[in-house]
A and B are shown apart, each in its own frame.
Chain A
Amino acid sequence: MPVNRQPRSFLDTRVLSRLAGMPFLARQPMQGSVSGRHASPHRGSSVEFAEYRKYVPGDDLRRLDWRAYGRSDRFYVKEFEADTNLRCCFVVDTSGSMDFGSGDVTKLQYAQRLVGVLGYMATQQGDAVGLSCVAAGVVQSLPPKRGPAHLRTMFDLLELAEPKGETELVTVLHELAETIRQRALIIVLSDLFVEPALLKECFQHLRFRKHDVSVFHLLDPQEIGFEFKRPTRFLDMEGGTAIFAEPNDIADRYHKAIQVYLEDLRQVVLESAIDFHQVRLDEDYEQVLSRFLVGRTRGKG
């Protein structure tokens, strides 16, 4: 079977090797199809004790706790946690604004690196991964499946993702909340240039559908600092009207606007109970992922 040996631009094996020892866990029970590393809402036969339950006719006699019967003369069934795999869906914003990057990488490239590492880790532990590239709508979609071959397909899709078009993230997230059938881990990677109030509805919708939602909010340092010296004509990367501005004149108000936006967003995050990570593009993505993975481990503990 021919294998494409061309290295992926968004994958760094050293990062993968360093992060390989860390578990990639869901924050809530998942309904998987096979046994895995994640808790299941159903009782199973793992080694982790869950609870005692009174015997009812029809129960498997093999699961009767004979020692408990000997001590109490009553029939109890001993139940154990079930471990299963998860369905991990990556939602990558590929709108025009994701093409911005004042440093070495654009937001989309940064998102590709995150998805690449997380997708690899999930596949390695037997989870199913899927990808949705969204802009004005769902541009590309790959349903979650297990296996390295599927991961390769996903990486191919990810590599071909092009940043263009407007953002309709709210619509898309609502749509995904409805279309992803079983509970899954949904990881959104976007600059979230959407009204926080609208985002709140999306997140609540996803939570309502029992999905574990994680969000990587990607912003470029230039977008935060707005450090321009000369009068500038700002061309909308999503095809909107250009704006001419004197940076000295508008910087104060820009900072104020972004401050208000971030405050609102923080409130939305608190109220939606999602796993939210704000990321500057000048941060090392390995550290971002470490923080993300450690946080999820603590959540499970």
Chain B
Amino acid sequence: MTFLQPILLAALPLIALPVIIHLINQRRYQSVRWGAMMFLLAANRMSRGYARLRQILILIFRTLAIAGLIFAVSRPLASGWLGLTAGGQADTTIILLDRSPSMLEQGAGTGVSKLEAGREQLASTLETLGSDRWVLVETTSENAIEIDSPDSLRKLPSTAPVGTSSDVPAMLEQARDYIKSNKTGRTEVWICSDIRENDWNAESGRWQTIRDSILELPQAVRFHLLAYPSEAKSNTSIRVTSVRRFETVDNAELLVSLKITRNASTEDSVTLPVQFEIEGARSELTVNVEGPTLELIDHRIPIERSNDRGWGKVSIPADSNSADNDFYFVFDRPQKRHTLIVSNDPQTAIPLQLAASISPDQATECSAETLTEQQLATVDWEAVSLVMWHAPLPGEESAKPLNDYINRGGQVVFLPPREPGSAAFRDVRWNSWSDQQPAIRVEFWRGDQGILANSQSGNALPVGELEVRRFCELSGEVTPLARLRNNQILFAHLPTTHGGVYFCTTTPNLQDSSLTTNGVVLYVFIQRAIEAGAAILGQTRQLAAGAGASDQPINWKQISGPEDALSTDYAHQSGIYSSEEKLLAVNRDQAEDESRVLPEEKIAGLFKGLSFNRVDDQAGSFEGLIQEVWRIFLVAMLIALMVEAILCMPRRVPKVEDTGFPRRQSDEDAGPTVDRATTTQATSTTI
């Protein structure tokens, strides 16, 4: 039980008042001279059981009445969130609202999404609790914003669903920064989320930093998590994995590959109509989904030959989550994929150039160019899909265009030069070369995702067959993708917000490794990097929601998508947009389709050491998280008073007739009559 006005509980000792008054009353007795002592003595000898019990009950009910009144004015809350507001109203309440697509999942048979339920619950709960200041941090916000009241949660556009995944650690950092810079006093942080793994990034090192920095704050910060962990029993999502424009002899076609993922408790097959919309022209394909996933490869959709560039959309019927039933895509003529190889070593550059210039299919034109670092000034970076840097790490001058290229989404693969040097790129540097005699093989590589992932058919790349005779040690914060048997890194990925930066610690030179002789790994590695880099080429972009937020989405024009989306939120809303000459397709992040929920203990671990409590709610449940229950106490007080009054009611005194005594004169109906007229005889007044 918690209270909105706990200070009033200080009056609880007043419940002793009835007892004190009773004791005082006992001392303020009167003395009466009494004749009928024999009855008093007899009464004293009788059992006092009921009378004493009655007396005690009266005192108890009086005490309860006062306690009920005190509790009622203390405004008690009925809630499972123990310790919710102990200490009273917060100075500042910060609301972290997860608006990610998974929050659009609806509760069974309710038609209410988790986001709607969470907003409503937060609004009603926080209205009850009250606070001096309200702050909102939501999925797309870059800074915490102050709002007028919790009721704003119901109305503000910035609480509407978006296609962007949440970054809860980043939201917490925003909240922390706000607390630091605004001297918020006693602060409550309310998090409303469906605690999906991709939103919470539980493995991120930022959590430790957040915990430490919050613990260092001078003011008390309490965290409350309103979680919606339940998953819909049956939800189907659709995602386009690739779109290619293919020209035939007399026509053109779109080859659309898509993946349908079903989150169903049963393995029954289901027939699903998939609707394609290309530039407003609709067609439908019925597919039979057996098992959890269905992949449709290269579904052909004829288009006009003149239709070089355009957009499309695939849809499935509405289900429990409306956010994953559509997927937008754009298409264009295949762009020429140009690879830039920066190297002074021909023996290394030639295999790289070969692997980069051989196209994986006929429709795609690939080319590669080898040049030195000094020639970079002449490069047209807009036409480059991959940079392979086999030279000392770039200096400050060379790094700038490279960083710009990466920030635009470009891909760079660094290979160790003969002379590593001491330069560093984004805090990563080459150390010294190490010879391995005999050659060493690869012990581990990431086959589930990344550039060395298994093929679409599920077969692993022959990374384990590689032999490395020389490698250059690497230092810096990188994510290993493959390790040698001596635990040294062979392939690594440098985490970046945009683009891709990879490090390979050996070269295709025959003296260094078998990358050339075992060409599959090298070819796939390079072609995948080229494909990723090609996404920034041409006039079309396939963006994950939120990825384009750093551009100027307000200048975008919506072609297809939710009609109520704000222009400032275009980068976060799924749809088709045009920006100048470019055509942009924005969709939810791929991780949103993986509906994995963080386990409870994991969440508890993230807030370890902090004041944290959690309640699980369900979409569609509008039963209040907390309710003011002062009425119950008031009713209890009234009942106690009524019972006390009944107990205090004087017992029925035996009627005069019952005692055998005659009634008083006034009650006498007709007493013995005395004929007063006959009293003729005067009596002397004195005798």
Using a CB–CB cutoff of 8 Å, the interface residues on chain A facing chain B are 3-8, 11, 13, 16-22, 96-100, 107, 120, 148, 151-152, 155, 191, 193, 219-220, 223-225, 227-228, 230-238, 240, 242-246, 248-263, 265-266, 278-280, 282-284, 286-287, 290-291, 294
Contacts and interface: CB of A to CB of B under 8 A. Distances in A.
Contacts of B37: 97, 193, 234, 236-238, 240, 243
Given A231-B29, A236-B34, A250 B40 contact: yes
B35 A223 contact: yes
Given A18-B676, A232-B32, A237-B33, A283 B55 contact: no
Given A8-B687, A19-B674, A21-B681, A252 B51 contact: yes
Given A7-B686, A120-B683, A151-B687, A233 B29 contact: yes
B155 interface: no
Contacts of B29: 230-233, 244
B13 interface: no
Contact of A237 (B34, B55, B674): B34
5 contacts: A17-B682, A120-B683, A231-B28, A248-B648, A278-B660
Contact of A99 (B31, B35, B662, B672): B35
Contact of A21 (B48, B653, B675, B687): B675
B78 to A, nearest CB: 38
B35 A238 contact: yes
Residue among B35, B51, B675 with max Cβ neighbours from chain A (10 Å)? B35
Contact of A148 (B51, B660, B676, B687): B687
B683 A13 contact: yes
Contacts of A236: 34, 37
A13 B659 contact: no
A169 B1 CA distance: 69
A250 B687 contact: no
Across the A-B interface, the 10 shortest Cβ-Cβ residue pairs: A97-B35, A253-B43, A257-B42, A100-B35, A234-B34, A16-B683, A231-B29, A254-B43, A253-B46, A18-B679
Contacts of B659: 224, 258-259, 262
B32 A224 contact: no
B44 interface: yes
A3 B660 CA distance: 44
B102 to A, nearest CB: 68
A250 B44 contact: yes
Contacts of A282: 664-665
B378 interface: no
B611 to A, nearest CB: 52
Contacts of B686: 3-8
Interface string B621-635: 000000000000000
A5 B50 CA distance: 59
A227 B531 CA distance: 104
B683 A287 contact: no
A152 B687 CA distance: 6
Contacts of A253: 42-44, 46, 48, 51
Nearest to B653: A225
Contact of B46 (A98, A257, A283, A287): A257
Interface in B640-687: 648, 650-651, 653-654, 656, 658-662, 664-665, 668, 671-676, 678-687
A5 B26 CA distance: 52
A114 to B, nearest CB: 15
Contacts of A278: 660-662
Nearest to A294: B672
Interface residues of B, number: 55
A225 to B, nearest CB: 6
Contacts of A219: 36, 661
A249 B44 CA distance: 10
Contact of A290 (B25, B674, B682): B674
Nearest to A255: B654
**Interface-centre pick from A4, A152, A278 (highest chain B CB count, 10 A):** A278
- Max chain B CB contacts within 10 Å: which of A100, A148, A234? A234
A246 B26 contact: yes
Contacts of B676: 18
B36 A191 contact: yes
A191 B48 CA distance: 27
B40 A234 contact: yes
A263 B660 CA distance: 8
B40 A243 contact: yes
Contacts of B44: 243, 245, 250, 253
A257 B43 contact: yes
A100 B38 CA distance: 14
B57 to A, nearest CB: 12
A281 to B, nearest CB: 10
A260 B42 CA distance: 10
Given A235-B33, A249-B48, A254 B678 contact: no
A250 B34 CA distance: 15
Contacts of B685: 7, 11, 13
Contacts of A151: 687
B30 interface: yes
B672 A254 contact: no
Contacts of A266: 660
A233 to B, nearest CB: 5
Contact of A283 (B651, B660, B664): B664
Contacts of A193: 35-38
A235 B34 contact: yes
A227 B40 CA distance: 13
Contact of A100 (B28, B34, B648): B34
Given A224-B661, A250-B40, 19 more contacts: A6-B686, A8-B686, A11-B685, A97-B37, A99-B33, A120-B687, A230-B25, A235-B32, A243-B37, A244-B29, A249-B55, A250-B44, A251-B650, A251-B651, A253-B43, A260-B42, A262-B659, A279-B661, A290-B671
